[in-house]
Structure 1
Amino acid sequence: MLLKDKVVIVSGIGPGLGQELAYGAAREGAKIAIAARSTDLLNKLKDEIGKKSEVIAIPCDITKPEDCKNLVDETVKKYGKLDGLINSAYRAGDFKEIEDSDFSDWQETMNTNFFGTMNLTMAAVKEMAPNKDGAIVMINSLITKKPLPTQGGYAASKGALATATKILAKELGPKGIRVNSVYMGWMWGPPVEMYVNFTAESMGVEPKDVIDGVTKDIPLGIIPDDSDCANAALFLISDLARVITGANLDVNGGEFMS
């Protein structure tokens, strides 16, 4: 198994990619700590995963440094170490063109996607550095490479994270800690399914018509499933990627090619 005996934290557990990262890490043999603000969803997922793998669920608001420290401390208390962190928690923000945006909403989005992610990353680094071993993966977005109207706040926050991640890879490499990014595009899961159904109803068309409009730009001809996208992050956490750091892995069915 790809992550046998590894201890991995997955933040941002929720419908879609977050829970698929947790399912995948458990499937690949990791002992995991899952974190989110919603205790109901956390406990539900803990019960599901706990039937097959070791898992703890820790409520965590990543915008609060004390919550991040508690998450790492509880993970190490339970398992004795921390090998990997997958930063999946995010805030989408409002969907407005920049000239119509309320920048207080941008600040909230930045506080989660950038500063919150950095809070949790730094808490993990403090644990990993003395052992000179660790892997961190940032879930980033195609929006930073293929801009779309109305997503300025979200894209700006992910752009800031992308730049900081490259610096982290340089700074933490000598400490044995790898830092990489995966850039997700369209992912088929509950959030996108809701979007497709809502858009189809609004436009008076069939869901297939909306999907066809998306997939026409994707060479593989499908909206990649979020579980398949999760596998890319799991690879970068694993020892198969032990000499990969500072990488930007595009996971979008070929919609964007650097």
Structure 2
Amino acid sequence: MLLKDKVIIITGVGPGMGRAMAKIAAEEGASVVMGARKQAFLDEVKAEIEAAGGQAVALSTDVSDRAQCDRLVAAGIERFGRIDGLVNSAYAPGENGPFDDADIEGWAHTIDVACMGSARMAQAVLPHMKARREGAIVNVATMQSLKHLQGGSLSYAIAKGALVTASRQLAAEVGQYNIRVNATRMGWLWGDPVRNALEGMASHMNTTVEAIAEGVAQRIPLGVIPPEEECGKSVLMFVSDYTKMVTGAVLDINGGEWMAP
């Protein structure tokens, strides 16, 4: 199994890729420490993991609060004795629309969660990784930090662009402790959240979900909207031993859409 006997923290465990990653990590042999704001949802995912024979800790965590980040790490250490990997997937979406009408003062919250929240989690876990001289951190970013998305969220793109930069800076600093830091750039993720969003769009545009999805897929070189489960596997690769010699890297996990016109 890819993550056999590892202890992995995953933040942002919501109904999309976060949930998929938590369940896949457990299936691949990891003990999973999950953080997100909604305890009830986390408890559901924890129950699913345990019903399948896995081990998990679920703790409501707001990554904009350093004390809560420390508490999540401490809960993992108390239950499993160590932390091998951290997947920073928590985010705040921000508003969509053009720059002219943007609420610039409102960007702070998105940046605080999507970028600074990952930094807080890294600071919380690094002392434990340094003590063992081993660990891996992966920061989940977005293709929007590389490529403009018409009508997309500027604050989200900016936050995740900063997160990519922070990943490389941190990778250079902590490599001496045998700690790896990498980032991923995600695009469309096919799953319930996107499907629900397309249903709303289809109703407004008097068309079908299938028609909109087909239009999106045509702009992606692989010809499909990447399934969240497959994308989650690629993210988890960075906390596995298969990437022991990879740090400071940024991987596009978006079906190649980043290079499409």
Normalised by the length of structure 2, the TM-score is 0.96
Give 3-state SS (helix, strand or coil) of 1:149's partner: coil
Alpha-carbon shift at residue 147 of structure 1 (Å): 0.9
CA contact (8 A) 1:139 1:183 kept: yes
Q: Quick check: 1:37–1:60 contact (8 Å CA) kept in 2? A: yes
The answer to whether the aligner puts 1:256 opposite 2:255 as a matched pair is: no
State how far apart, in whole Å, the 2-side matches of 1:191 and 1:97 are: 23
**Sequence identity of aligned pairs in percent?**
38
Question: Does the residue aligned with 1:118 lie in a helix, a strand or coil?
Answer: helix
Q: CA deviation at 1:257?
A: 3.9
Shift of 1:21: 0.7
Aligned to 1:107: 108
Classify the secondary structure of the residue corresponding to 1:94.
coil
- The residue that corresponds to 2:178 in the other structure is 176
For 2:169, the equivalent position in structure 1 comes to 167
Find the residue that maps to 1:256 and give its secondary structure.
helix
CA distance in 1, matches of 2:255, 2:160: 20
Secondary structure of the 2:246 match is: coil
Residue 142 of structure 1 corresponds to which residue in structure 2?
143
Give matches, 1:1-258, under 5 Å.
1-51=1-51, 52-150=53-151, 151-257=153-259
Contact 2:95 2:154 in 1 (8 A): no
SS in 2 for 1:139: strand
Give 5+ residue unaligned stretches, structure 2: none
| CA–CA separation in structure 2 for the residues paired with 1:243 and 1:203 | 48
Asked if structure 2 preserves the Cα contact closer than 8 Å seen for 1:250 and 1:257, the reply is no
- The answer on whether the counterparts of 1:188 and 1:223 sit within 8 Å (CA) in structure 2 is yes
- How far does residue 148 in structure 1 lie from its aligned partner after superposition? 1.4
CA-based RMSD of the aligned residues comes to 1.1
Deviation of the 1:75 alpha carbon:
0.4
Q: 8 Å contact 2:21–2:229 — kept in the other structure?
A: yes
Between the aligned partners of 2:93 and 2:106, the Cα distance in structure 1 is 10
- Partners of 2:37 and 2:19 lie apart in 1 by 14
What is the CA–CA distance in structure 2 between the aligned matches of 1:105 and 1:13, rounded to whole Å? 24
Q: Distance in 1 between matches of 2:81 and 2:213?
A: 45
What is the CA–CA distance in structure 1 between the aligned matches of 2:184 and 2:160, rounded to whole Å?
Answer: 11
- The Cα offsets for residues 53-92 of structure 1, whole Å up to 9 and x where unpaired, read as 0111111110000001111111011101100000010000
Amino acid at match of 1:173: G
| Cα distance in structure 2, aligned partners of 1:208 and 1:47 | 33
Paired residue secondary structure (2:258) = coil
Stretches of structure 1 lacking an aligned partner (at least 5 in a row)? none
